[in-house]
Amino acid sequence: MIELSRIVKRFGSHAALDGVDLSIPAATTTALIGPSGCGKSTLLRVIIGLIEADEGEVTIEGRPLAAWNQRELRQRFGYAIQSGGLFPHLTARQNIELPARAHRCALKAGRIAELAELTHLDPLLLDRFPAELSGGQRQRVALARALVLDPDILLLDEPLGALDPMVRADLQRDLKSLFEELNKTVVLVTHDLAEAAYLAPTDIVLLREGRIAQRGAFAQLRAEPAEPFVTSFIEAQTERVAALVDAAP
């Protein structure tokens, strides 16, 4: 359970987040979407505490962010970003194990193999370095790393942003089944409405210039737009959405 109230974050004179109130229930998938510069990535970083809000409060499971022990907090979050954020000097396996080492947790035997299976990563790739992996494979490793400590909350910042369409579609399907299987609280940042509608069909948060323009299911956004911006944002991407949503099982 994540609660944000009146979050303001300024970079110089520009307000990246301008009074955001948001409540994210546990065990659901929420997509943060909007054009570039709308503040969606900043919002994600504020949630995990990578950047501090200038105003407002973040609470995780009812406790303000500041009241959390940093280590303990980090252990509850799994975090993956667009480029994967994999460390080039470590193999895939070492990258996945790193959070466990950082928190001095012993991994149970077979955990890495289990994660490889979960993320559809060929176990033969585990001993390769990131430079020896394709973009899709790297994202799977990043995902496995985010999941290694079995966190309650998964924060994904454009996890599929850098992939070509075929690989992307593949991974989208895998992510969807993963989210359903694991039943975690997932917050996903994406600029792609189709991806948001597919992975978080009931809870899409559309941001514009640091404010929430509208929140709801994809159908709701389309049927009852809160402002003209919502309509124009949806229309710009709708054709591709229809194709993907119809194809969903």
Partner 1 sequence: MIRWLLVIVLAASAAGQERVVVGSKSFTESAILGHMLVALAEDAGTDAELKSFPGSSVAFAALRVGEIVAYPEYTGTLKRELLAELGLETDDQLRDALAGIGLAISEPIGFNNTYAIGVTRSTADRFNLQTIGDLASHPDLRLAFSNEFMNRGDGWPGLRDTYDLPNPARGIEHALSYPALAQGQIDATDLYSTDAQIAAMGLAVLEDDRGYFPRYDAVVLYRLDLAETNPAVLASLLRLGGAIDEARMRSYNERAELGGPNDQGRVPPAVVAADAVNELFGLDAEAAPPTLASRVLLRTRQHLVLVGVSMGIAIAVALPLSVLAARSRAFAGPVLGITGILQTIPALALLVLLIGPLGIGAPTAIVALLLYSLLPIVRNTHAGLTGIPGDLVESADAIGLIGFDRLRRVELPLALPTILAGVKIAAVINVGTATLGGFISAGGYGQPIFTGITQNNFALILEGAVPAACLAVLVQVAFDGIERLVVARGLRL
> CB of 147: closest distance to partner 1 in angstroms?
12
For residue 182, with 0-12 CB atoms within 10 Å meaning exposed, 13-18 middle and 19 or more buried, which class applies? middle
242 contacts partner 1 (rule: CB under 8 A): no
- Is residue 29 within 8 A of residue 188, CB to CB? The reply is yes
Return the residue of 91, 119, 139, 185 that touches partner 1, per CB under 8 A: 91
Return the residue of 4, 48, 125, 194 that touches partner 1, per CB under 8 A: 48
> CB of 169: closest distance to partner 1 in angstroms?
24
Return the residue of 29, 30, 75, 139 that touches partner 1, per CB under 8 A: 75
**Residue 89 vs 108, nearer CB to partner 1:** 89
> CB of 56: closest distance to partner 1 in angstroms?
21
**Residue 132 vs 150, nearer CB to partner 1:** 132
190 contacts partner 1 (rule: CB under 8 A): no
Stretch of 53-61, 85-93, 171-179, 185-193 contacting partner 1, by CB under 8 A: 85-93
> CB of 37: closest distance to partner 1 in angstroms?
17
Q: What is the DSSP string of the chain?
A: -EEEEEEEEEETTEEEEEEEEEEE-TT-EEEEE-STTSSHHHHHHHHHTSS--SEEEEEETTEEGGGS-HHHHHHHEEEEETT----TTS-HHHHHHHHHHHTTPPPPTTHHHHHHHHTT--GGGGGS-GGGS-HHHHHHHHHHHHHTT--SEEEEESTTTTS-HHHHHHHHHHHHHHHHHH--EEEEEES-HHHHHHH-TT-EEEEETTEEEEEE-HHHHHHS-SSHHHHHHHHHHHHHHHHHHHH--
**Residue 6 vs 103, nearer CB to partner 1:** 103
> CB of 145: closest distance to partner 1 in angstroms?
8
- Is residue 96 within 8 A of residue 148, CB to CB? The reply is yes
**Residue 90 vs 226, nearer CB to partner 1:** 90
Return the residue of 27, 67, 102, 113 that touches partner 1, per CB under 8 A: 102
Return the residue of 36, 89, 106, 180 that touches partner 1, per CB under 8 A: 89
Which residues of the shown chain bind partner 1 in the complex (CB under 8 A)? 45, 48, 50, 70-71, 74-75, 77, 79, 81-83, 85-91, 98-99, 101-103, 129-132, 145
